[in-house]
Amino acid sequence: MKIENIPLPGVVVITPRRFGDHRGFFAETYSRPKLAEAGIDTVFVQDNHSLSRSAPTLRGLHFQAPPRAQDKLVRCGRGALFDVAVDIRRGSPTYGKWFGVELTEENGVQLFLPAGFAHGFVTRVPDTEIIYKCSDTYAPETEGALAWNDPDIGIDWGLGGAAPVLSDKDAAAPPLVGFESPFAWEGGA
């Protein structure tokens, strides 16, 4: 398992080893002891699986606020997507900054996002499936969203001028300006 730290402290790119032959491949997609060795000691309590029929479907930028905030471990089960984390921890030196990575069925790459990051993704091909672990169960009373196209965040979704398929909620999400984040930077990850 290859683990890479990126410029947003706490967000980690994980690439599990794959063992393949003429039948296909085998990969260990989650190992609590191996992640703990890398400083990720999250206990996951819920798995989610989402299918997006059309491309480009864009979902996000979503988060759950404390006390039900979630760490997430995200991967692509089928198809291809561009996965994004945005730092929304008040006082963080990377507040409002984003990082994105291509997650595909072929590359097996995963993204770990700790609580305090908004999460979103855009599908690259039809019938894309995203699978992710969460450290807390869904709590709709704590959910929040930020505008996917906020110019102050400036995410390059790679849409090439195409209009994404959005939910009504995501289309109406507020910008970062004026957002009172429920997350505070603790000075480390």
Give the span between the Cα atoms of 138 and 144, in whole angstroms.
12
6: Cβ contacts below 8 Å, ≥ 6 apart: 12, 13, 99
Best CA proximity match to 124, nearest among 156, 164, 82, 77: 82
- Percentages helix, strand, coil for the chain, rounded to the nearest 5? 5, 40, 50
Q: Spell out where 135-189 has E strands.
A: 143-145, 183-184
Classify 116 in phi/psi space as left (phi over 0), alpha (psi -120 to 50) or beta.
left
Q: Which of 22, 62, 95, 119 is catalytic?
A: 62
In the residue annotation, 138 being an active-site residue is answered as no
Q: Which of 22, 95, 132, 138 is catalytic?
A: 132
41 within 8 A of 74, measured Cβ to Cβ: no
In the residue annotation, 95 being an active-site residue is answered as no
Active site amino acids: 62, 132
